[in-house]
Amino acid sequence: MTKIKSFKIYTDDTDENKVLVGNDINTALEILENNGYIIEAEYEQKEKTIIQINLKKDSSFNDKNHFIYCLQDLINEWEDVIGAKEMDKEDAGFNCERLSELKTILNGGLTNDKS
C-alpha cells in the first residue's frame, strides 16, 4: 500500500478559483462525515511521551506521582489566575493548545512506581 505524503482539499468554486478547505486527515474525515458517510478509522497508537523525574532522597515530594499531582495543581492554579496567552507558534509560553498538551503529557506520566 502506498502512503500519502500530503494532500489538499479544495471547494469546487464556480468562478474557477479553488478555495483551500483543509490539508489534514481529520478535516477530510469531518467533511466525509458531514456529507453522510460513515467513517470507521483505525489509528496507530502514538509513542508515549515520557518525562524523566529524578527526586532526591530528601525531596519535599513523597514520590513521582506526588510530584505530577503537585505540578498538575500548579498548572491548574496558574491557568485559573493568569490564563493562557495568545501567541505565535515561535513564541515561548503557554497558549490553550500548549496547556492542553502539557496536561495530557502529565496525565500520561502517572505510574505505579512509587520511587
Residue 57 domain boundaries: 46-115
pTM across the whole model: 0.47
Is residue 11 helix, strand or coil?
strand
51 and 33 fall within a common domain: no
Cell readout for 3 is 502512503
Cα separation, 95 vs 104, whole angstroms? 14
Per-residue pLDDT averaged across 84-93, rounded? Answer: 83
Is residue 75 helix, strand or coil?
helix
69 and 113 fall within a common domain: yes
Per-residue pLDDT averaged across 22-41, rounded? Answer: 87
Question: Does the pLDDT value for residue 93 go beyond 70?
Answer: yes
Beta carbons within 10 angstroms of residue 68's beta carbon: 20
| Confidence tier at 61 by pLDDT (50, 70, 90) | very high
CB 63 within 8 A of CB 115: yes
60 and 113 fall within a common domain: yes
Please state, rounded to an integer, the average pLDDT across all residues of the chain: 81
67 and 114 fall within a common domain: yes
Question: Does the pLDDT value for residue 67 go beyond 70?
Answer: yes
65 and 89 fall within a common domain: yes
> From the centroid of its chain, how far is CA 16?
37
